[in-house]
């Protein structure tokens, strides 16, 4: 099944290792992290590690999310000429509604607050997507619907999140999900914002990164469903769906970039999905996971992954030009995207 491709025109990024996309991508390329002791203590009496975004003032809560998001969006705006925010919907990914310790006001206050921070208004079609780690993939799907309907010419897709919140950390620690002095099989919490500008792909004499296909699935044996055997059914369904839109096999991709953030579950799921889908021998098939440098950043990870991919292919340090990206939530929702870098498209 052939579907329109989306061209990623620009990116913006605010992370614990860089306050712009070039800075963050350079740090991630060099495997630099910013894991430091936080002001939170685990049950063993040791300080929790985290990856905090260093801003000019010690903002917390929703205010900090607004500041980070505004910086990422402004970087996107500055990087794309003749950009009209009023004619461009913003599809904003935030934490899923079931997230422990979720901040108030994400669904109704965050979008107008960031507009006020930037001093502009986005298209009335803007919306918040409470999708967690799959939010950016869901945003790309909605962006494609808007663009193919010719309702708009461009769409901004963004995500912002942070897990350095006391109730959130306490809940994840109680479930043995955090990396602590008593648990080695866990993630390091972080915070970040990332944004993309997309339009329908067209013939171009300039290089561009395209999102060729999207797929979604649901995993019954999710990370907290201990009574079910993991077969990676949801992730396999998502990847198959994305590949079907492209009309290609997994062997046509050159490497993977994933949202895995330290827990064994994510690596096991990725390996199971690969074993079920890859039918041709590949000498190398790298797996990239930016969370190794920035920590678990929830709804922001999708934008970070696509920003890292764009930097890697445009600067020619990626293993190839065709990429599988996949994402997964704790509740079992899975998403996948097939990305392809086109150095030159003939007119």
**DSSP-assigned letters across all residues of 98-143:** T-TTPPTTTTTTHHHHHHHHHT----TT-EEE--GGGHHHHHHHHH
Q: Is 50 helix (H, G, I), strand (E, B) or coil?
A: strand
Over residues 88-117, the pLDDT tens digits come to 999 999 999 999 999 999 999 999 999 999
Is residue 193 in some structural domain? yes
The whole-number average pLDDT for the span 303-330 is 97
Over residues 185-231, the pLDDT tens digits come to 999 999 999 999 999 998 877 899 999 999 999 999 998 887 789 99
Q: What percent of the chain has pLDDT over 70?
A: 99
Task: Give the total number of structural domains in the chain.
Answer: 2
Q: Is the dihedral of CA 260, 262, 268, 269 positive or negative?
A: negative
Is there a contact between 293 and 31 (Cβ–Cβ < 8 Å)?
yes
CA 233 to chain centroid: 21
Give me the phi and psi of 93, to 5 degrees please. Answer: -85, 135
Q: Are residues 21 and 153 in the same domain?
A: yes
Give the chain's length.
347
Final residue of a structural domain among 200, 219, 253? 200
Q: Are residues 193 and 302 in the same domain?
A: no
Quickly state the pLDDT bin for 343 (edges 50, 70, 90): confident
pLDDT of 76 higher than 90 = yes
The whole-number average pLDDT for the span 65-69 is 98
- Strand boundaries in 166-260, DSSP class E: 191-200, 208-218, 255-258
**How many CB atoms neighbour CB 109 within 10 A?**
14
Q: Are residues 34 and 156 in the same domain?
A: yes
Q: Are residues 336 and 241 in the same domain?
A: yes
pLDDT of residue 141: 98
Residue 281 carries which DSSP code?
Answer: -
Final residue of a structural domain among 200, 217, 241? 200
pLDDT of residue 344: 62
Residues with Cβ within 8 Å of residue 34, at least 6 apart in sequence = 16, 17, 51, 52, 54, 293, 294
The whole-number average pLDDT for the span 312-316 is 96
Over residues 116-134, the pLDDT tens digits come to 999 999 999 999 999 999 9
Q: Are residues 169 and 301 in the same domain?
A: no
Is residue 347 in some structural domain? no
Q: Are residues 53 and 89 in the same domain?
A: yes
Quickly state the pLDDT bin for 77 (edges 50, 70, 90): very high
Is residue 96 in some structural domain? yes
pLDDT of 311 higher than 70 = yes
Q: Are residues 193 and 214 in the same domain?
A: no
Quickly state the pLDDT bin for 1 (edges 50, 70, 90): low
Q: Are residues 15 and 154 in the same domain?
A: yes
pLDDT of residue 279: 87
Is residue 294 in some structural domain? yes
Residues with Cβ within 8 Å of residue 1, at least 6 apart in sequence = 244, 245, 247
Q: At what angle do helices 301-314 and 21-29 cross, to 10 degrees?
A: 80
Looking at the chain, list the stretches that DSSP marks H as alpha helix, in order from N- to C-terminal side: 21-29, 61-79, 110-118, 135-148, 166-174, 233-246, 264-277, 291-294, 301-314
Over residues 259-292, the pLDDT tens digits come to 999 899 999 999 999 999 998 888 899 999 999 9
Domain range for 328 is: 208-342
Torsion angle of alpha carbons 302, 133, 335, 262, nearest 10°? 90
Is residue 150 in some structural domain? yes
Final residue of a structural domain among 184, 200, 216? 200
CA–CA separation, 105 and 108 (whole Å): 5
Is residue 328 in some structural domain? yes
Q: Are residues 313 and 244 in the same domain?
A: yes
CATH number, position 280: 3.40.47.10
- Mean of pLDDT over the chain: 95
Over residues 228-243, the pLDDT tens digits come to 899 999 999 999 999 9
Q: Are residues 21 and 166 in the same domain?
A: yes
Q: Are residues 187 and 226 in the same domain?
A: no
Q: At what angle do helices 110-118 and 61-79 cross, to 10 degrees?
A: 50
Is residue 1 in some structural domain? no
Quickly state the pLDDT bin for 346 (edges 50, 70, 90): very low
pLDDT of 347 higher than 80 = no
Is residue 24 in some structural domain? yes
Q: Are residues 154 and 277 in the same domain?
A: no
């Amino acid at each position: 099944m052939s579907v329109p491709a989306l061209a990623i025109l620009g990116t913006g990024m605010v992370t614990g290792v860089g306050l712009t996309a070039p800075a963050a991508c350079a740090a991630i390329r060099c495997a630099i992290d910013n894991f430091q002791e936080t002001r939170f203590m685990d049950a063993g009496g040791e300080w929790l590690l985290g990856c905090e975004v260093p801003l000019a003032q010690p903002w917390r809560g929703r205010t900090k999310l607004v500041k980070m998001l505004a910086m990422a969006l402004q970087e996107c705006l500055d990087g794309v000429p003749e950009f009209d925010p009023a004619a461009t919907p913003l599809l904003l990914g935030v934490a899923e509604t079931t997230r422990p310790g979720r901040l108030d006001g994400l669904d109704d206050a965050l979008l107008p607050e960031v507009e006020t921070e930037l001093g502009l208004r986005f298209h009335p079609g803007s919306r918040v997507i409470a999708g967690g780690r799959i939010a950016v993939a869901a945003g790309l799907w909605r962006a494609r619907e808007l663009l193919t309907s010719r309702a708009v010419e461009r769409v901004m897709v963004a995500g912002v999140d942070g897990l350095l919140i006391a109730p959130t950390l306490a809940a994840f620690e109680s479930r043995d999900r955090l990396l602590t002095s008593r648990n080695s099989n866990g993630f390091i919490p972080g915070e970040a914002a990332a944004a993309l500008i997309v339009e329908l792909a067209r013939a171009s004499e300039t290089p561009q990164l395209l999102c060729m296909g999207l797929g979604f699935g649901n995993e019954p044996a999710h990370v907290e469903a201990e009574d079910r055997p993991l077969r990676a059914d949801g992730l396999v369904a998502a990847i198959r769906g994305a590949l079907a839109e492209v009309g290609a096999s997994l062997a046509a991709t050159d490497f993977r970039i994933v949202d895995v953030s330290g827990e064994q579950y994510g690596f096991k799921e990725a390996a199971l999905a690969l074993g079920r889908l890859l039918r041709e021998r590949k000498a190398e098939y790298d797996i990239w996971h930016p969370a190794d440098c920035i920590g678990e950043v929830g709804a922001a990870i999708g934008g970070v992954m696509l920003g890292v991919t764009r930097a890697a292919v445009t600067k020619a340090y990626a293993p190839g030009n065709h990429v599988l990206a996949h994402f997964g939530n704790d509740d079992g929702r899975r998403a996948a995207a097939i990305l392809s870098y086109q150095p030159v498209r003939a007119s």
